[in-house]
Structure 1
Amino acid sequence: MLKNLFATHPIQASPHVDAGEIPHDSLQGEASLKRVLTARHLVMLGIGAVIGAGIFVITGQAAAEHAGPALIISFIVAGIACAFAGLCYAEFAAMIPVSGSAYAYSYATLGEIVAWFIGWNLVLEYLFAVATVAAGWSGYFNECLSILSHWTGLSLSLPESLASAPLAFMDGSQIEHLKAGQQVIAKFSEHFYLVSTNTIINLPAILIVTALTMLCYRGITQSTFVNSVIVAIKVIVILLFLVFAFRFIDPSNWHPFIPPEEGPGRFGTSGIFRAAVLVFFSYVGFDAVSTAAGEAKNPQRDMPIGILGSLLICTILYIAMALTLTGIAPYRMLGTPEPVATALSIHPELNWLKAIVSFGALAGLSSVILVMLLGTSRIFFSMAKDGLLGKGISRVHAKHRTPHVATIIAGVSALVLAGLFPVSILGELVSMGTLLAFTTVCIGVLILRYTRPELPRTFRVPGIWVVSILGSVICLYLFWQSFRANWPLMVGWTTFGMLIYFFYGYSHSKLRKQNS
């Protein structure tokens, strides 16, 4: 059994592929994914996924609760880790141009059980990212309704009971200060409780996930077109914010740059690294680019451009945004679902910009949800093609040539999470899943250099030993910072996934059947 658990997926040198080409392992007459994406599409997908929650949602929470103005250092730490992982992703994506991302790379290097573990964590990463961003989208949606109410004189805003999560996670100290109507639903440990919030459901989050799931079902061409339009809008909005908010920066808001530590992970040096885990979530989009490798026209050339190009552009924008945001408002004010709008609200001269930013954030977060839904469905699709999930999940729509069953499953799962759970805990879980995936990619690319040196590599990681080892060490360190606080949920998710694998995936694995 041990041999089967660590069996690796055979890989061959991948020839150049052209748009519309049927993959070599497709059955005759079977619909396949459509190869239509260029390097520009891939860069836009990366920016579409990366620029969103990190700027419009997570940045404020990370500054208010963990790092203060030193959030800039947190972004740099997370960016360095992503740069190492991005180089490794680029080599893998050019060498193995399939839709499985880190799951497929782990299958080829570390074995089936590791691939399942990473694939399950990719589901955690993308699926919970959709839910996290949808929760943030809901906050900006209500902000936009408030702006429209002010303009029209009508009362358009949704009541809190219909626009916020009915569940929340709290530590032991917070339990003593429950509000009227709140109740403890479950206790995971002395410091970890699930409580009700006395609201009904996050309706806007459910609606946006439903709408974008329908778009993903319709086709990759339509999805990437909509994404490109949204990306153009939100980059313009970000640049407007940076230009016009610059003159309102008050340097006193940056002092102290590193606030004194108030507890583990709350300000001080430990807070910087805890915030780095949170803002790591901001970068998850660049690896979602690799899930589109099966739909790229020329993946050998275009995948490295898409991955590294989007990562570079987004890192520059993030640092500039964090610097400006903490400069125009005291960092403790930013712990809201819409921190950019909150920061602008204290400057009456920028009220006109507040409206633009709010609507731009709404569009920007939509593109993140869209790309993450695409990523989730492609991971489900790849795992099902290998027999580790139900065969029906690997079906491709004959007309739209999308993994429509996987898309529906991803959408329904995401809207349930988005409607019930708060943004903070979902964001940390996403970061943990991302960090584990990045670690295996960093290790896997080094292993494959020595086990399969003959494979052609159109992109090679420079200084492979330094990049691979440092990338994996940094990612594991950041993972541990968050795991210490959220280990019950992470262990629960992993246990649930392993039960699925041993009760279904192991016995239905196509690779195991071929080797037996």
Structure 2
Amino acid sequence: MKETGKFGFWSIVLLGMNGIVGTGIFLLPNKAYSIIGSASLGVLLFDAVIAGCIALCFAEAASLFTRNGGPYLYAKHALGDFWAFEVGVLKWIVTVIAWAAMAVGFATALGAAVPALSGDFAKDTISFILIVGLTIVNIFGVNVSKFVNNLMTISKLVPLALFIAIGIFFINGANFTPVFPQDTYVDGSFAQAAVLLFFAYTGFEVIAIAAEDMKNPKKNLPRAIIMCMLLVSILYMAILAVSIGVLGTDLANTKAPVQDAFNVIVGPIGMYVVLVGTLISMGGINFAEAYYAPRVATSMAEDGMLPSALAKRNRYNAPYVAAIVTAIASVLLAWSGSFTTLAAISAVSRFTQYLPTCLAVIIFRRKWADKARSYTIPGGYLIPVIAIGTSLWMLAQAQTNQLLWGLGGCIIILPFYYSYWKKKKAGLIKNNDEM
């Protein structure tokens, strides 16, 4: 693919922000405030540091590779085929399920805004059109995908930027005291709020999955990951601060905090601006899932871990077979409505991306000490160790059923790995050490 058709630095940043900034930030401020009051600003900053440490590990790992795959690729070269298979397959499965759930979420939100579209048939039709439409965009290659992503990301950020720019003049400083409103803080509140808000930062782990579609990925990906996390952190802090400053203790009781706060500031027009922004944001996160999911499968197929047909590309260099298979699976899941285990599996699967990547940074420094890197985390092993420790702490906060579902997912895919291992041992699959 020609360099001119690939994602440049700022397009990578927008792609990353599109994958991180979903509907959560429109809904989380009230939940966090109800747990720990205005101290939720401190918790959000704490989470930014934690997520930042993990993201820095992804940035350093990304500086060594130009292939698609991201966490799967890092696990393969650092920990071997078994862990790479677990990381890659779980990521693909969870992304397919997540896309189905997000498509239904978009259809549900649209139905709430337009009652005529609230029926089950309408929801199924909307989710089908959304998944198929985004798959077609994906099949037309990087140029079209880049344009659509940039447009959707900027469109979703505009309402949030307006909310911050206008809302900052309506902040009431008294709403930030006391830091812990009566009855909001109890033992365990900090950990509960930290886990809740942490997931608003997730999504950065997929940025490197499409490295081949990016200009000079060894240089641009690390910089883009860092810039993306910095901008998202500033955006989140500003949104939460304005929400608290405008609504005060009422924030704990609202179901749509940003919408209600903007309604207080500029009237009903503000509420509708945020509603449109929410729908665009949901559409944007759907696009991010549509773009990344096939590329996980394609990278694994190129290594022989999944059927070779999934590695096929069309004249636009798009992984069209993987895109179609992913879309079919997502449509069927969207129509089934079976999402009860999604949160349980995804809560654990996130850390199957984080822990191997943070470990890989340490391993790569020893294994490839002389290999050139465009970015190295300062402070030696301190930040990777902090990232590993905080990832384990976050994982420990998961409920028992979430851990069991996550473990079950790892076990279920073992027979498929065994099949791959047998073929490789028999010499039917060649090693692919391309980076």
TM-score between both structures, scaled by the size of structure 2: 0.87
Shift of 1:445: 0.8
Q: Which runs of structure 2 are paired with 1:172-251 in the superposition (5 Å)?
A: 204-249=126-171
Alpha-carbon deviations, 1:184-217, whole Å to 9, x = none?
xxxxxxxxxxxxxxxxx66544442332122112
Partner of 2:346: 430
Shift of 1:299: 1.2
Partner of 1:159: 118
Partner of 1:194: none
Shift of 1:88: 1.5
How far apart, CA to CA, are the structure 1 residues paired with 2:304 and 2:277?
41
Q: Which runs of structure 2 are paired with 1:122-137 in the superposition (5 Å)?
A: 122-137=91-106
Partner of 1:487: 403
Q: CA 1:210–1:75 in structure 2 vs 1: closer, same or farther (change >3 Å)?
A: farther
Partner of 1:79: 48
Q: CA 1:257–1:206 in structure 2 vs 1: closer, same or farther (change >3 Å)?
A: farther
Amino acid at match of 1:53: T
Alignment of 1:386 with 2:303, yes or no, is yes
Q: Which runs of structure 2 are paired with 1:333-482 in the superposition (5 Å)?
A: 333-335=253-255, 339-341=257-259, 344=262, 347=264, 349-397=266-314, 399-421=315-337, 426-427=342-343, 429-482=345-398
How far apart, CA to CA, are the structure 1 residues paired with 2:175 and 2:334?
33
- Which aligned segments of 4 or more residues in structure 1 are displaced greater than 6 angstroms? 259-262, 422-425
Cα pair 2:30 2:251 within 8 Å, conserved: no
30, 38, 55: which one pairs with 2:8? 38
How far apart, CA to CA, are the structure 1 residues paired with 2:348 and 2:83?
16
Alpha-carbon deviations, 1:122-161, whole Å to 9, x = none?
225533443454344334323432xxxxxxxxxx443365
Partner of 2:422: 507
211, 214, 228: which one pairs with 1:296? 214
Q: Percent identity?
A: 23
Alignment of 1:142 with 2:111, yes or no, is yes
Partner of 1:3: none
How far apart, CA to CA, are the structure 1 residues paired with 2:96 and 2:384?
27
Shift of 1:87: 1.4
Amino acid at match of 1:501: Y
How far apart, CA to CA, are the structure 2 residues paired with 1:512 and 1:78?
46
SS of residue paired to 1:95: coil
Amino acid at match of 1:116: F
Alpha-carbon deviations, 1:327-361, whole Å to 9, x = none?
444344345xx55335555x384210111111122
Shift of 1:53: 2.6
Alignment of 1:104 with 2:73, yes or no, is yes
Report the structure, 1 or 2, having the larger helix content: 2
Shift of 1:259: 6.5
Amino acid at match of 2:297: F
How far apart, CA to CA, are the structure 2 residues paired with 1:416 and 1:67?
40
How far apart, CA to CA, are the structure 2 residues paired with 1:217 and 1:268?
51
Q: CA 1:498–1:80 in structure 2 vs 1: closer, same or farther (change >3 Å)?
A: farther
Of 87-96 and 277-286, more deviation after overlay is shown by 277-286
Amino acid at match of 1:112: D
44, 48, 60: which one pairs with 2:18? 48
How far apart, CA to CA, are the structure 1 residues paired with 2:182 and 2:320?
51
How far apart, CA to CA, are the structure 1 residues paired with 2:239 and 2:277?
14
Alignment of 1:273 with 2:232, yes or no, is no
Gaps of 5+ in 2: none
Cα pair 1:51 1:282 within 8 Å, conserved: yes
How far apart, CA to CA, are the structure 1 residues paired with 2:173 and 2:37?
13
Shift of 1:474: 0.3
Alpha-carbon deviations, 1:458-495, whole Å to 9, x = none?
21111231011100110111122124352332233222
Amino acid at match of 2:398: S
227, 232, 236: which one pairs with 1:309? 227
Partner of 1:178: none
Alpha-carbon deviations, 1:48-100, whole Å to 9, x = none?
1112233134x257437755544434432332222112211112212111110
How far apart, CA to CA, are the structure 1 residues paired with 2:329 and 2:144?
23
Cα pair 1:39 1:306 within 8 Å, conserved: yes
Amino acid at match of 1:378: R
How far apart, CA to CA, are the structure 1 residues paired with 2:125 and 2:183?
37
Partner of 2:2: 20
How far apart, CA to CA, are the structure 1 residues paired with 2:181 and 2:311?
50
Cα pair 1:202 1:420 within 8 Å, conserved: no
Q: Paired residues, what number?
A: 428
Cα pair 1:90 1:304 within 8 Å, conserved: yes
Cα pair 1:125 1:433 within 8 Å, conserved: yes
Alpha-carbon deviations, 1:154-178, whole Å to 9, x = none?
xx44336568xxxxxxxxxxxxxxx
Amino acid at match of 2:138: C
CA RMSD of superposed structures (Å) = 3.1
How far apart, CA to CA, are the structure 2 residues paired with 1:385 and 1:328?
52
How far apart, CA to CA, are the structure 2 residues paired with 1:224 and 1:52?
18
Alpha-carbon deviations, 1:229-282, whole Å to 9, x = none?
1222222210111233345556676566456889xxxx6453433343343332
How far apart, CA to CA, are the structure 2 residues paired with 1:276 and 1:512?
47
Amino acid at match of 1:88: C
